[in-house]
Structure 1
């Protein structure tokens, strides 16, 4: 048998194509659209005459039973694939604390305060609805999380003239929000704790840390250690996604060699973000967002449940007032100031974007009430409904602001054209 040329076997230009696909998946708009598409497909299927096949697929058990990893596909998506998302989040958090905006307390004060207040007030609103309506308090943390992929995707679609400082503020807020959400999952949603595998998970975690500190990138060394850390963390009772965050925290940010270029954390983030945005998060959304509205009693029954109402009002009103109010209070009583060029109308639009709670909110809902329960169905309706309302309101406000900044830009260009001084950019273009 003649050898097949490598170009024919893999397809000529296959690696450039793979790189192009990876670049597309790294964009915030693409990640957000895939997330929405997967959730919408799940909702349609779960409410179709063939919804039984969807729930059978979610409940299909795969994996080795000998190590207690015979899990339903929905659990694999929430515990396994989502660990990749949290690994990327851990890399981003580490990079922000070491070399980003969170390194400078003065620059970080406003978004950090906005994130804290934006988590506290939604939780209080949920508790108020639960107490008044006799609902369960277990889901208090559901409306506290912001879905960074979804929120940045909305901002990327809208923003053509919005200040760059608005995106920086949202990104910093979301990074702190992710950190607090991870802490909430680890501290409040761990039902049992098995100390033996928990302590054993430190061994592969430390070995992984030693290798990456020496700038080792070999996947055949790092991947088995990461998997061992995940398996032992899963066995300990701590939610396995925490393993992804801890692994991300071990990766060094600074370059060992002198000169410009990405550090190892940025390198890993560049490699794993397409997997997270293009595979892990959409698959999780597909399994997590599928709720049969008919089987759960309909929209009326969901809206009569204090769980649903607490989530919707927590995401829409709680996040908006919390983020906006927390920002105003810190600026009012400290020396921290909004970035130059930002107005309070911009912060209002950003605060509404913070009410888009999706990935982590759905995960906390499953941890609080159990996947497939009646309460979990109402959680999904509340998260999807609240996120949709928040996204629509944010779109209205930010489109108005975008039009305002576009008019300002057009006026500046007209002034440059009529002041008798050639515009430097036009001059360069002509030359």
Structure 2
């Protein structure tokens, strides 16, 4: 009988299937555009919030609209954090389910290492933040801020400077980002829910059950027209979101739950990257442009605007253990957690790094994962409250750490990208008559 070590993949970051590489490439191209829009929106907000017209920015962010009896009389900034980010996390749920049901990660041997690396990339930064803020009850509650990786921001940087990097590194980064965002959502649900209202929470189960039933049987109710499915399922999902929000649990959790409820494959299809698409793929194509092109940039616009207060204000933030903890945890803790966990998995499972990549590549990806923007900003607001000095200092820390991580990753990955460009020029990659490169048809097990 094979032991656990032998059941695990013999190679780390081995080249996956060609169809999976094409699918991931399409996702990365869309997230790249979203990442550029995110950076632009954050830059506009930061400049506006520190300009003579700063009062108008905060007036727009804090403008309240909604229906109070349903606990939905919210500021525009809160609508962006609680409402628009639910779309983002809906896609996180879809993508993670797709990976584990029909992607290359349906194989436990391939899934265990990136999932473990993601966990290491969450635990180590949290411990570093706690160590720096130990004994300070007012600041230590921000321990979860440096746990997440911003998918869109990190992917945009990777796309700009990593055009020749192996596809396995891109897939590894995307898996890391999705998994640790899911972990961050779990942290939000368990640690940032102060009070639970049972009645709305129980009522939430009704639309979720109806949504799941209709989604799983969508061909029976909607035939082969996925557009009809989302027109019916979307209002049901909105009701589930509103009820969960009223229950006191952060409403973005609804996005992940509803994403998991959508079928990845046809009801009778077997798993695998070549299996026929289910409703999840149709939803992903429809909602990803909305998420990357609107939801996440708008959230970044309302969340990144912080009045730094000039040089003096930035100096004040630098002395705050909140900012110090966030910067050290993201810039150093993330790559240490990811690379160390991967190395330990390799050591104790007798796996080895695939010959197509080097450990320095993994260091570059780990540094890039230190770009914790979208979810980090969300957790910061949940930890310290919108408009507080602690939240402003945390935002400065998040922005500073993300820029430093992007800069250091650029230095490492640009050098590695040039190396892989030379390798591509020296090695001819043959393509068979079926259009699939030979390298994807070799034994990589």
Alignment TM class, shorter chain as reference: 0.7 to 0.9
User: More deviation in 334-343 or 138-147?
Assistant: 334-343
Q: How does 1:221-370 map onto structure 2 within 5 Å?
A: 221-256=232-267, 261-294=276-309, 298-370=313-385
Question: Per-residue displacement from partner, 1:230-277 (whole Å, max 9, x unpaired)?
Answer: 010000000000011101010001124779642211110111000000
What is the aligned partner in structure 1 of residue 4 from structure 2? none
Q: How far apart in 1 are the matches of 2:167 and 2:192?
A: 36
RMSD: 2.2
Q: CA deviation at 1:339?
A: 3.6
Contact 1:102 1:172 in 2 (8 A): no
Q: CA deviation at 1:410?
A: 2.3
Q: How far apart in 2 are the matches of 1:349 and 1:424?
A: 30
- 2:36 is the counterpart of 1:33: yes
**Residues 106/143 of structure 1: CA separation in 2 closer, same or farther (3 Å cut):** same
1:172 equivalent among 154, 170, 175:
175
What is the aligned partner in structure 1 of residue 72 from structure 2? 69
Q: How does 1:405-420 map onto structure 2 within 5 Å?
A: 405-412=420-427
SS at match of 1:70: strand
Contact 2:265 2:275 in 1 (8 A): no
Q: How far apart in 1 are the matches of 2:311 and 2:48?
A: 15
Contact 2:120 2:338 in 1 (8 A): yes
- 2:122 is the counterpart of 1:111: no
Contact 1:319 1:352 in 2 (8 A): yes
Contact 2:146 2:372 in 1 (8 A): yes
Q: How far apart in 2 are the matches of 1:149 and 1:96?
A: 18
1:187 equivalent among 186, 190, 194:
190
Q: CA deviation at 1:179?
A: 1.6
SS at match of 2:134: helix
Q: How far apart in 2 are the matches of 1:271 and 1:298?
A: 43
Q: How far apart in 2 are the matches of 1:245 and 1:424?
A: 39
Contact 1:319 1:355 in 2 (8 A): yes
Question: Per-residue displacement from partner, 1:323-380 (whole Å, max 9, x unpaired)?
Answer: 1111111101113333441110110100001100000000000001111111110111
User: More deviation in 47-56 or 327-336?
Assistant: 327-336
What is the aligned partner in structure 2 of residue 145 from structure 1? 148
Q: Which has the larger radius of gyration?
A: 1
Question: Per-residue displacement from partner, 1:11-62 (whole Å, max 9, x unpaired)?
Answer: xxxxxxxxxxxx9996222111000000000000000000000000011001
Contact 2:265 2:276 in 1 (8 A): no
**Residues 270/220 of structure 1: CA separation in 2 closer, same or farther (3 Å cut):** closer
Q: How does 1:152-167 map onto structure 2 within 5 Å?
A: 152-167=155-170
**Residues 204/182 of structure 1: CA separation in 2 closer, same or farther (3 Å cut):** same
Q: CA deviation at 1:68?
A: 2.2
What is the aligned partner in structure 1 of residue 98 from structure 2? 95
**Residues 412/305 of structure 1: CA separation in 2 closer, same or farther (3 Å cut):** same
Question: Per-residue displacement from partner, 1:278-306 (whole Å, max 9, x unpaired)?
Answer: 01000000000000001896111001000
Q: CA deviation at 1:190?
A: 0.6
Scaled by the length of structure 1, what TM-score is found? Answer: 0.88
- 2:393 is the counterpart of 1:378: yes
Q: How far apart in 2 are the matches of 1:101 and 1:369?
A: 39
Scaled by the length of structure 2, what TM-score is found? Answer: 0.85
4+ long deviations beyond 3 Å:
23-26, 132-135, 256-261
Contact 1:320 1:348 in 2 (8 A): yes
What is the aligned partner in structure 1 of residue 55 from structure 2? 52
What is the aligned partner in structure 1 of residue 10 from structure 2? none
Q: How far apart in 1 are the matches of 2:204 and 2:311?
A: 39
Structure 2 stretches of 5 or more lacking a match?
1-25, 436-445
2:124 equivalent among 121, 125, 130:
121
What is the aligned partner in structure 2 of residue 11 from structure 1? none
**Residues 336/424 of structure 1: CA separation in 2 closer, same or farther (3 Å cut):** closer
What is the aligned partner in structure 2 of residue 19 from structure 1? none
